[in-house]
Amino acid sequence: MQKYLKSILNNKSYKIEFDRIFETAIKEDLSKYDKTTQILIDKNSISNAKVIAKSSGILCGSEIAKACFKKIDSRLKIDLLKNDGDKIDKGDIIIKIRGKSSSILKVERVTLNFLQHLSGIATCTNKIVNSIKKYNTTLLDTRKTLPGLRLLEKYAVYIGGGRNHRFNLKDEVLIKENHIFSCGGIEKTLQKMKNFSSPYEIEVSNIEELMIALKYNVPVILLDNFTLKDIKKAVKINNGKAKLEVSGNVTIKNAKKIARLGVVYISVGSITHSAKAIDFSLLLH
């Protein structure tokens, strides 16, 4: 799992994005300096600190937390007791830190914000992944991410056991309802795609559109907001010809029901935009 994060961060364009994310978070919280720490804490004071989980879940962001601490003070000693992807329980010590008290306090909130948000996404993702693991269905994320945090949120999905759909608009061709409307309907849209040689995906909103997409040999078809009854019907009509993806109003409660119908993918926006944070605290001792 660490290889996945490093492969992203070692990519030049993604590395730039990660640096920007971190710098923005630090500037937002620290601004020019930490007034309270400057008044109260001796600049030579040394402390031990620990990050503790206050609820259970799947950990994500340990390496990012380490990077946060090191960015503020490279002399801080950071020990990761848990790794991304590990199951954590309330009371578990996640990270131990030793170094300047002022350095630890300056980055405390930024670090915890990353940990709680990313672990929340990983945990939410993992719950759905576990609910459908008996079936040959892959859970995908979407582009419904917080502005500026897509890279890290999609990493958290991966850590939770899900897989990443496109990172951005240039990654692949996904024809959605507004494209279809702008082209004058699904038939005219697919006529324009006849000479497109690479794989692509199209969103359909009913069985009639599905049948048209199959006529044009579309490789991946997204069933948007289909009922369970219509998903079952679509799978039967498709008969393995295209890869079917289901999206729209998918929850932890109905994901299993959808997966058992035989679709290849389920994409869920809520795992990134509505995941409940996992609580952590940092304590000096």
pLDDT one-digit tens code per residue, 148-202: 899 899 999 999 999 999 888 888 999 999 999 999 999 999 999 988 888 899 9
Same domain, 138 and 267: yes
Same domain, 86 and 158: no
Same domain, 151 and 267: yes
User: What is the number of structural domains in the chain?
Assistant: 2
Query: Residue 12 pLDDT more than 70?
Result: no
Q: Which domain holds residue 224?
A: 131-273
* Predicted pLDDT at 19: 77
Question: Considering the chain, what is the average pLDDT of its residues?
Answer: 92
Same domain, 194 and 75: no
pLDDT in tens, 82-137: 999 999 999 999 999 999 999 999 999 999 999 999 999 999 999 999 999 999 99
* Predicted pLDDT at 1: 41
List the CATH number of the domain containing 56.
3.90.1170.20
DSSP string computed for the chain: -HHHHHHHHHSHHHHHHHHHHHHHHHHHHHTT--HHHHHHS-TT-EEEEEEEESS-EE---HHHHHHHHHHH-TT-EEEESS-TT-EE-TT-EEEEEEEEHHHHHHHHHHHHHHHHHHHHHHHHHHHHHHHHTTSS-EEE--S---TT-HHHHHHHHHHTT-B---SSTTS--EE-HHHHHHHTSHHHHHHHTTT--S--EEEESSHHHHHHHHHTT-SEEEEES--HHHHHHHHHHHTTSSEEEEESS--TTTHHHHHTTT-SEEE-SHHHHSPPPPPEEEEE-
Same domain, 280 and 253: no
pLDDT in tens, 227-276: 999 999 999 999 999 999 999 989 988 999 999 999 999 999 999 999 99
